[in-house]
Structures are given as C-alpha cells and as structure tokens.
A and B are shown apart, each in its own frame.
Chain A
Amino acid sequence: MVKFHDRIVALVFAIGLLVVAAGLAHAGPYEDALEKFTTDEFADTAEAVTEVATSGSPLAAPLIAALQDGRLQFSAKDKKVFIKTADDKLIDAETGKPFDGTPPDDLDTVRVNNRLRGVIEAANGALTLMAPDAGKRYESAQSVFKSRDAAVLPAVEKALEAEKVARVKKILNEARAAILLAADDTSAPDRIAAIEVIRARGDQDSLALLQSLPADLPADVRATANGAIKTVERNLALWNTVQNLWYGLSLGSVLLLAAIGLAITFGVMGVINMAHGEMVMLGAYTTYVVQDVIRTSYPGLFDYSLAFALPLAFLVAAIVGIIIERTVIRFLYGRPLETLLATWGISLVLMQAVRAVFGPTNKEVGNPSWMSGAFDLGGILITYNRMWIIVFTGIVFVALLAMLRFTRLGLEMRAVTQNRQMAAAVGIRTARIDALTFGLGSGIAGIAGVALSQIDNVSPNLGQGYIIDSFMVVVFGGVGNLWGTLVGALTLGIANKFLEPFAGAVLAKIAILVFIILFIQKRPRGMFALKGRAIEA
C-alpha cells in the first residue's frame, strides 16, 4: 500500500517534471521560431520572421532589427541564436539577456536575401507602427502602403487613432485606403472613400493601385475610379514636365560647370585646350586624396571633406595649368593647330601619370551625408547631390563674373583679351596675365572636378567624358562670352532631357550634335558672338 502510494507520488512527480520540461522547451511561438534561424535556409528564415513578428513577444522587434542590420548570429551546432550589439557583445536572443559564456566556434551571421528583406520590411512595418519616433512610424506606414497586407489592417487602424503627427497620419490613412482597395470584401462606400484618399496622394504608386482594381466593380465605384485615374494621370503629366525641366537644369549645370573653365581658357584666351578635361580629373583626384586622409585620420570631419577639397583642388589644378602655360602653351600662341596637338599630348601624359600613381581602377569618393538621398517636392523627386551641384554652379558662375567685372586682375584680363598690343602699351604685363588667366581657367576646372566626383566615377578617364561636351557648350554659346556659356549649357541640358524620354539617350545625343552642326553653319560665332573690332581672328 505504502509502496503503491509512493509509486503514484513518483508518477505524478515525473509527469509534473515532464510538463515543466516541455513548458521550458516550448515556452511560446517566439522561442519555437528561433530554431528556424539556425538552418541557414532562406525559406526557414522567412517563416521564422513571420512567426516571430506575430508572436507578440517584446523581444521580437529588436531581433528583427538585428536581422535587418546583419547583426543576428546563429550557431548551427548548438541551435542557438544571438544578437550582436554595436560594441561586439552577444545577447542571447531567447532570453534577451547578455550572453556571458564562451561563444560557439561556428558562429555565423544569419543570411538575408531580397525576398527576405521584403518579408522583414513588412514585418517591421507592422511592428513599428507605434514606435515613439515619428520618422520610424512614417517609414513603417510607407512599407505597409507598399505591402497592402490585409492582416495589418487592425494595427493600422489602431495606430491611426493614436497618431498625432499630421504627416504620419496622412500616410497611415493612405496605407489604410490601399489595404481596403486591395482587399476583395470591401463595401462600395468604403471603396469610394478609399479611392478619394488615393486620388489625393496622386503619385505613380497611386496610379498603379487604381489601375490594378478589378474590372467587375459596381458602376458607381468604377466611375469614381476612372475619374480618379484621369485626375492622377493629368497630375502626373504636369509633374513630368516639371521633372524634365529639373533634370535639364541639372544636366545643364553639370555641363556649365565643366565648360566654365574652358570658357576662360578657350573662350577668353583662344587656347584650344584639350587638356581641360584632365584638370577636371585632377580636381576629382584631389577630392579623393582629401577624403582618404580624412577617412584614415579624422573620420569625424568627413561631412566637411568637400570644403577642404575645394580650395586644394583649385590650387592643384591652377598650378598644373600655370606650369603648362609657362612651359608649353606660351610658345604656341597664335598657332591653334600646334596648341591643339600639344595640349592633346599633355592630356594623355596627365592621364597615364594618374594611372601610374593611383592605378587604373575607379577610386571611391563618398557623398557627405548632406549630399546623399533625396526629398519629394510635389510630384518629383529631387536628389540632394544634384540640387547642391546646381546651387554650387550658380555660385561659381556669379563669383567668376564678379571677379572679371570688379577686380583689377579681371580688368587686366579683359583688357588683354580685347586688345593685347594696347594693353601692353598701357603697361599691363601681358605674359603674366596670360599665365594667371590660364591658371584661373584650370583652377575652375579643378573645382568642377570636386563637384563631378560626387556624381561620376573618379577614374583617369573622367575628363575625357566631358571635353567634347565642354567644347560644344562654349562654341554653341559664343566664344568669349560667359553669359553665352550659361545659356548654351542650359539650352543643351534641357533640350537633351526633353528629347531623351521620346528618343532614348543615344538618339538624343545624336540629335543634339546634328542641331549644333546646323546651328554653327548658320551662326559660326555661336549664340552670343562678341561684336566689334576687339576680336582678332
């Protein structure tokens, strides 16, 4: 009897133990999902992400953030998952507490591919809808808008009620409308309301969403949808023109920047300088060197790297320019063919020299944080680097104009170009002015190189891509006239960008070249030719 009782107690105890053990091993869906991270298979990881995201565990959000940043590590042997912190410490993903044992030796990062990134973003969108940071909430609402996942609808509606910031509220509302439109069982009035919200958004995504509505809608819904599609299309067409204009302005500013130095050396001095592109390249390489020094020694200053690079690039290119003028070009004034050949040779020498010093491969020049990314302006997307280049070109142009107009050097430059003998007769040292003018033109090309390094690749061939365009701009605008260069660059840029959507990039370029050839036939001196006795042949 006693024995029997003992046995029962033992049995109950054993069962209890089993239950507890089972409870420990299967504490919840979150802990269950973790193991799937350790198989190193994308399909398993995707399942795990969805399970973790819907588990409701407070540990889910940090885990998914870690996965997204490549900080989630696993050990296939021990079937354990860890989160690596920024200071290289490990956190046990199961408990959320710091891990203080020896890390397993087969520790590896959980790999992520594009499909997984999509899954993560969608999961994150639902998880961070209530995040304290408004920017995060905005982003997650955006990703919900894209994913249109019906399962998130309750979360969106909850977030919509709690939301205070107007910007986020608007996008949440749009996300809700998108989900409603994509779902099959939405009532007609709800659909119409949703269409109105999407119409108000009015961008390409809205159009796609409206166009993908099923064909068998009730008549009134269909009519609203068709109306909305028309409005959005009209809206988009308008913005499209604005966008082409902006792109044209941007291309024009790049052309102007590349050509403005040449407008001085070729336009004002009359030197056919084929090495102009290489001055641009030297400026870009100066930027690379400056950034390299900053990266290795003063990483905190990286955002200011361009401020250091600008004066240095001007100096480097100007000095090289003056050396070229003093040693080669001054012996060739008035002999354009020889100048062309000599400067062409110099350009090859400079390119090969850079190739020998820096190697033939591209060099990485980073964008400072204030030059990366883009912002929406109405219906167009404006990238920061392009915008700053337009601003910068404007500044350079105005500064150059002011220099020529208001400084003594500028006055002497104009005097020498207009009438060399007379200028010499009144005591201007024309040889010195020649050297300085050439240096100025080259220096400005160097500055252009700093700007171009932000949008193009820094390689020895950088300058070659711009030399033809630069000559085109200067000749088209009118030799010897800075305003002509400005108008020429912007005209060519905008014409190119309006042609490109119809004709394609290759044909647009050909069309522009043909146009310039015809134009030069009619007006050989360009748009704004200098008139009067001043111009010598």
Chain B
Amino acid sequence: MFTSIQTAAQRSTSRKWLSAAAGVALVAGAVQSASAQETIKVGVLHSLSGTMAISETTLKDTVLFMIDEQNKKGGVNGKKLEAVVVDPASNWPLFAEKARELISKDKVAVVFGCWTSVSRKSVLPVFKELNSILFYPVQYEGEESERNVFYTGAAPNQQAIPAVDYLMSKEGGAVKRWVLAGTDYVYPRTTNKILEAYLKSKGVKQEDIMINYTPFGHSDWQTIVSDIKKFGSAGKKTGVVSTINGDANVPFYKELGNQGIKATDIPVVAFSVGEEELAGLDTKPLLGHLAAWNYFQSVKSAGNSEFIKKWQEFTKNPKRVTNDPMEATVIGFNMWVKAVEKVKSTDADKVIDALPGIEAANLTGGTSKMLPNHHITKPVFVGEIKADGQFDVVWKTKGLVPGDAWTDFLPGSKDLDSDWVKLKCGNYNTVTKKCGGQAS
C-alpha cells in the first residue's frame, strides 16, 4: 500500500519532469532551427588558455566586436552573423582538431584564427581537405601561399625589410653593424635568413652581422645583452633587429634598460612587440627603441580614432589598447563581408574566387587590397617607444606595399610566384614554368 502510493507519486512527478523537459527541448529546437536559418556562422580559432592566450585573446574579442558591429548594420546578405568560439589552448595538434570541428560540425562559413606559424601549418591540411576559408592576421615569415588561406598580416617585405631600410638611412642612424636576435623557431629563423641575404646584398660584411637565438621564454639575458653591447662598441653604429617572441621580451628589455643601453647608442627594432606587450613594462628606460608594424594605435586618422572609441566601449575598458594583428583581423573581416555581399553567398569556392581584388579601408587612412597571391597591400610604419607605452611614428613608406609571399632574397624562393586568379597556383616556378616548385 505504502509502496504503491509512493510509486504513484514518483510516477506523477517524473511525468511532470518529462513534459517539462520535452517543452524545453521543443523550445530549444525551435530556437536552434530558427537561428540555423537566419545566421551565418563565423569560426574563431584563437587560444584562450596556455602560453599564447596573452596575445590571442585580444583577437577573439576583436572578431566578436566586428561581428557585433556588423549585426548592428543588419548583418550580411540579410542574415545575422553568429560567432562560434573554440579554444585550441596553445596546443598545435588541437588547432587542427578544433578547425575540423568548426568546419564539419558547426558548419562555419569562414574561420578567423591562428597566431603562431606552427598552428597555421597544423590547420592547413584541414582547410584544404574540407575546403573552407581561413583568415590569418599575424605578421609571418612568408614562403607560403595557399588557396584556402588569406594572409592579412605582414609578409617579410612589409615589415622586416622596410624596418632595416629605415635603420640604414641617415634618419634612422645609418646603422652599419647588425645584431639579429630571435627566439629559436621558424619565424625568426626564416626572417633572419631573409634579412641576412638582404643585408649582404646591400654590402654588409659577414663580420658585421651577429645572429643569436634563444629558447622560448628565455629569462636570463645578462650574457646576451652584454655581448650585444660589446658587439656594438666596435666603432661602427650598431642596431639590433629583434624577432624575440612573446614573454621573453619583458626580461630582455628590462636587462637592456638596466645595463644602460639607450636607443641613441644601440637602437633595437622589434617585430613582435606592440602596444599589448608594452602594457606589462615600465617603458621609460626604453624610450626611443623601435618597432615596425603596419598599424600603430597612435596613428592619427578619423577611422582609427572612431575604431578605438568603439573598441573601448565594447570592451568596457577605457584603457584597452589596440594593435597591429587586431587591425589585420579588422581588414580581413571587412574584406570577407564585402566578398560575401558581392557573390551573395557564403559558398567557399565562390568567396575564394571573389576575394582577390576586394578593397577595404585600413585604420591608418588608406585602402588595402586583396592581391591574387592572397596577401594584401599595407603601409609600413616605424615607431619609437614613448614613455606612456605608445609609439610615435617616425617613418612610414610612401604608399602601400604589396605583400610578397615568396621573398626575392632567398635562392630557392626568388623564382617562385603565387597567383590564384590567372595561374591558379600558390608556388609557380617562373623558371621551369611549372606549378609546384619548392622553396629550398
């Protein structure tokens, strides 16, 4: 008796739960199907944990911000955009897994993501196999051009070579002796190889070039900084080209400051140090050291000040800084929107064919254009570090520099050309007239 009552009560409650659950499921299903009809999904593949979170989290926020702005304007082709954010956790194989998940499970139309070259290389096969689109927003070593990837960051000729040109000029201090210091991985090694060949083509002798590599996260810079100082006191004006990556920069600059190396004695031009990295530093001892980028927060233009204002409102942080990879993300996003609107479809093949030739305003007052080699045109700026952690632009290129996928300064790659419009090839060898040449 007692037991039967209990079971009845149980049954009734469980039935209630069941119906409630069914109701929720129905509603959820309805919402899902409605959103599936109306939205275009945009994948965000940036590390939100692990070592690269320091740099990549900002780019995730940037994509979310751009999607928010675009949706305020009514979305794309009458559909709202919807972000799908995944966290590859600074783990290179996980990048490939998460990319596959975004494309095949979430059916995203486009992915914005990756920072390190090794993460980009790890997702390449996935994007090729599943035929989707990746926008890569970070300056890199070049020597690559893929059909499914659009490179909105700088190629070496849009950052490293103009920076070296500046240091060689009278205004930059007429540097005659060069230290190429970098972290030991693919981007610094390739960039330094290109720079070494370039410097030699400009008549710099071997003994006036010092190349130095350090492990990731190197924190004891005493020996290297004093070596640089020694190298720099040989009577010729010396400059340091730094491809030191990430966290290792802070102790490096601290040691420079403490050992009293001033920018007037030995200027350091960095390719991986921007506003975001300087946020963790007391910049007073670094006054005058340089960075080369395609964008600085301090560049005065109407587009830039409006962007900074909206960005700081979006992040609810009036001190939030902007940086170069953010601008590259913004340009890439706007180019993708324009291409999708042009072909009225998010179909990967159509968008890929439409993208070359698309123009989008950059934040420094110019108009960048997507080139047939999937790189874009950008202005190059050299800025000096100011006491407030911002940069003062001391030099810029006259016009926009077109990105060159294959450098002209390495023997194996100078014969290669990339053109996805006419040649339909990312590594066309102009000597053998064949597609599929390899860089040595």
Contact = CB atoms under 8 A, between A and B. Distances in A.
Interface stretch (B149-157, B258-266, B350-358): B258-266
Contact of B280 (A117, A364, A383, A497): A364
B51 interface: yes
Contacts of A70: 387
Interface string B313-329: 00000000000000000
B226 A381 contact: yes
B172 A361 contact: no
Contact of B279 (A362, A374, A464, A465): A362
A208 interface: yes
A235 interface: no
Contacts of A384: 258
Contact of B281 (A43, A117, A364): A364
Contact of A374 (B172, B173, B258): B258
Interface stretch (A4-12, A421-429, A453-461): A453-461
Interface in A346-402: 351-352, 355, 359-364, 366-367, 372-374, 381, 383-386
A114 B264 contact: yes
Contact of A505 (B215, B235, B282, B394): B215
B250 A374 contact: no
A360 B54 contact: yes
Given A362-B250, A362-B279, A455 B219 contact: yes
Interface residue range, chain B? 35 or more
A461 B217 contact: yes
B257 to A, nearest CB: 8
Given A114-B172, A114-B263, A115-B171, A457 B215 contact: no
Interface in B49-100: 49, 51, 53-54, 57
Nearest to B239: A114
A362 B281 contact: yes
Nearest to A372: B258
Most buried by B among A352, A461, A509: A461
A476 to B, nearest CB: 18
A474 to B, nearest CB: 19
Interface string A460-476: 11001100000000000
Given A204-B229, A361-B54, A364-B281, A114 B267 contact: yes
A251 interface: yes
A16 B224 CA distance: 68
B223 A113 contact: no
A374 B224 contact: no
B379 interface: no
A117 B222 CA distance: 26
Interface residues of A, number: 59
B144 interface: no
A306 to B, nearest CB: 15
Nearest to A206: B233
Contacts of A367: 254, 282
Contacts of A461: 51, 54, 217, 247
A42 interface: yes
A360 B57 contact: yes
A114 B226 contact: no
Contacts of A456: 219, 250-251
B255 interface: yes
The 9 A-B residue pairs with the shortest CB-CB distance, nearest first, are A362-B280, A457-B250, A383-B258, A360-B53, A212-B235, A505-B214, A204-B233, A247-B222, A113-B394
7 contacts: A117-B264, A243-B226, A352-B49, A372-B257, A386-B258, A455-B255, A456-B251
Given A111-B392, A247-B222, A360-B53, 18 more contacts: A115-B170, A117-B263, A117-B264, A244-B223, A247-B220, A351-B49, A355-B53, A362-B250, A362-B280, A385-B254, A457-B250, A465-B217, A465-B219, A465-B247, A497-B222, A500-B223, A505-B218, A505-B224
